[in-house]
């Protein structure tokens, strides 16, 4: 836990199947993320549970999540697939806490880089990843990953952010 963290009301824990619908609703209601199928969120909460993380409120309901995995083609990286925080819980450091908590999980502790893709117009997302890099004392490199033309209809290009080298992580809040 970091001392600049004011999101302490939420508890970080591993995702489970029962969170899938709530995470789907959080993404649906959250604005800028691509909404995937409910089934995909069930897969994230089960097959990708060891590398992902959830923030839960006092009723154990998800108020934030990071869907992440170790790409088979880039195993030294922990790839952030989606990160979302419920509107009411934003601006308190919760997304940064989730990402740091995710990186410290047992299944991610040997990752030397964090990768993600962002659309350049998503200023919150850009600020989030640059803020994480600054906190971790890591560099950010950027390149185009998926050109707009690769998407079936109106979608900005997705740029890859590669953050590293990552520092050693302390004992995980969520094993
Ligand atoms: C992006 C998102 C996850 C940020 O969640 P959050 O809990 O409010 O973020 P934090 O409080 O941890 O803030 C992290 C950093 O981003 C900055 N930030 C957060 N929201 C911002 C915004 N709307 N505009 C500019 N900067 C913003 C914060 O100031 C902080 O910067 P710092 O490290 O310099 O202090 C949240 O706004 C969200 O769910 N948005 C919709 C989904 C999305 O766009 N996800 C990212 C794409 S994968």
Share of the chain above pLDDT 90, in %: 90
pLDDT at 8: 62
- Across the beta sheet with 113-118, the strand order is 11-13, 53-56, 62-69, 77-85, 113-118, 158-164, 139-146
Distance 141 CA to ligand 1 centre (A): 19
Record the pTM.
0.95
The count of structural domains within the chain is 1
Q: What is the arithmetic mean of pLDDT over 128-153?
A: 97
| pLDDT above 60: residue 2 | no
In angstroms, what is the span from residue 112 Cα to ligand 1's centroid?
A: 23
Residue ranges around ligand 1 (CB below 6 Å): 30-33, 82-85, 90-96, 118, 122-125, 127-128, 131
Question: Cα of 95 to ligand 1 centre, how many Å?
Answer: 7
Domain limits for position 16 = 11-164
Residue 67 belongs to a domain = yes
pLDDT at 120 > cutoff 60: yes
CATH number at residue 139: 3.40.630.30
Mutate to test the pocket of ligand 1, among 52, 127, 145 (most ligand atoms within 8 A of CB): 127
The pLDDT of 71-89, averaged and rounded, is 97
- What tokens were used for 10? 């939420």
Quick check: is 1 in a domain? no
Residue 172: inside a domain: no
Q: Is residue 171 part of a domain?
A: no
pLDDT score for 4: 42
- In this prediction, residue 143 has a pLDDT band, given cuts at 50, 70 and 90, of very high
CA-131 nearest atom, ligand 1: 33
For 2-26, what is the mean pLDDT? 83
């Amino acid at each position: 836990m970091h001392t600049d963290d004011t999101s302490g009301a939420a508890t970080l824990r591993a995702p489970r199947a029962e969170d899938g619908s709530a995470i789907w609703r959080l993404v649906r209601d959250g604005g800028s993320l691509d909404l995937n199928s409910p089934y995909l969120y069930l897969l994230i909460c089960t097959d990708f549970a060891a590398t992902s993380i959830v923030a839960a409120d006092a009723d154990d309901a998800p108020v934030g999540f990071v869907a992440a995995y170790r790409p088979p083609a880039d195993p030294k990286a922990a790839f952030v697939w989606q990160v979302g925080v419920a509107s009411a819980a934003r601006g308190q450091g919760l997304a940064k806490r989730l990402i740091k908590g995710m990186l410290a999980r047992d299944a991610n502790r040997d990752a030397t880089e964090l990768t993600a893709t962002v659309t350049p117009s998503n200023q919150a997302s850009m600020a989030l990843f640059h803020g994480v890099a600054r906190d971790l004392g890591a560099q950010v490199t950027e390149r185009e990953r998926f050109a707009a033309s690769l998407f079936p209809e109106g979608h900005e290009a997705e740029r890859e952010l590669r953050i590293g080298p990552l520092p050693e992580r302390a004992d995980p809040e969520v094993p």
